[in-house]
Amino acid sequence: MALEFRSVIDRMLAAPNRPARGTLPPIRLSQNEMPWEPAPVIVDAMEKAARTAHRYPDYHRTAARAAVAASLGLDVERIAIDNGSGSLLHGLARLVCEPGVHGVYCWPSFEAYPAALGLAGAQSTPVDLDEQGAMDLAAMAAAITPQTRIAYLCNPNNPTGGFIGADGIRAFLRDVPSNVLVVLDEAYREFVTAEPIEATTALLDEFPNLVILRTLSKSHGLAGIRAGYAAASPRIAEALRRTSVGFALNSVAEAAVIAAFGPEGQAVADTRIAVIVSERERMLDALRTAGVSVLPSQSNFLFVHGDAAELLERFEAQGVLARPFPHAGGARVTVGLPAENDAALAALL
């Protein structure tokens, strides 16, 4: 008899097709990465950690959690760290989901949400975005049933860049039953200029069912290191730590986290984020002036409407690798260095 997988495996979205490495366009603006190498202080810390890689890392991730907590102004007991925020959003689904329960998420959005719910055995409901590419929180609240145990909010939303302010998130949380875990995925929060970065962390004291997820992949340019963190009530954070795979945060990643949230690491990130935000606004202005249909963005990428395949061809003609989203009606292009962005604009103007 042939080996049989769980039925949910066949329903999961396959990883997106990527061109062979030798044929990639030279300007890589497809995965929302930062265009710089990690800050020197981070590289130094990782190199030092690599020399002790014959030892296991700290099982409890104590120093890394303390660095994150200090940067947020939160107690360390409210922090969990794992091998990327994707691991945490899967872990949160496992905490509250099982067959017979239900979760909601916006769509199109991060593909990990339906995957996490399906693997945890939950049924799920995708809810359409609004016309600006942001979450339709009223529709999400309406989709919650007595069986709902978790709701994923992506803010700013990936791949569209739409954003809801903290007051809108607060209103949604007031409408959600307290037994529903609300996961606020803020992978791109550092690029938001519409409100202070601490506006949403203040909600943690009001709503014990709220979890905020962030990553070092974007703002600190550490996509290849795989480190993300959750800020939540002590009870939720402790449950995440207890159920995490042991030693999942390797010692090199832990060193990178500690250095990233030190004064020097944070100063480098702040300077680089300011460049990306300035370039984002420059690109938006140029596209809008030319009449190109592009969504507003509070992230480090732009979503351009049109035939995804045709847009991809236009980008590739300029040496730019962007990412198509046919189901969302367009393509997403990361904001990179000025010269890279000029090439992306040349493909669209």
Q: Are residues 245 and 330 in the same domain?
A: no
| Structural domain for 316, as ranges | 26-38+265-348
Choose the final residue of a domain: 202, 227, 261: 261
CATH number of domain containing 200: 3.40.640.10
Q: Are residues 95 and 71 in the same domain?
A: yes
Residue 139 lies in a domain: yes
Residue 15 lies in a domain: no
**Dist. CA 163–CA 155, nearest whole Å:** 6
Residue 13 lies in a domain: no
Q: Are residues 302 and 335 in the same domain?
A: yes
Q: Are residues 31 and 72 in the same domain?
A: no
Q: Are residues 140 and 289 in the same domain?
A: no
The CA angle 41-47-52, to the nearest 5 degrees, is 130
Residue 17 lies in a domain: no
Q: Are residues 334 and 217 in the same domain?
A: no
Give Cα 121 distance to the centre of its chain: 23
Tokens representing 169 are 């998130």
Q: Are residues 170 and 222 in the same domain?
A: yes
Q: Are residues 288 and 323 in the same domain?
A: yes
Q: Are residues 58 and 206 in the same domain?
A: yes
pTM of full prediction above 0.85: yes
What tens-digit pLDDT sequence spans the chain (349 residues)? 778 788 777 776 565 555 555 567 899 999 999 999 999 999 999 999 999 999 999 988 999 999 999 999 999 999 999 998 999 999 999 999 999 999 999 999 999 999 999 999 999 999 999 999 999 999 999 999 999 999 999 999 999 999 999 999 999 999 999 999 999 999 999 999 999 999 999 999 999 999 999 999 999 999 999 999 999 999 999 999 999 988 889 999 999 999 999 999 999 999 999 999 999 999 999 999 999 999 999 999 999 999 999 999 999 999 999 999 999 999 999 999 999 999 999 999 9
Domain total in the chain: 2
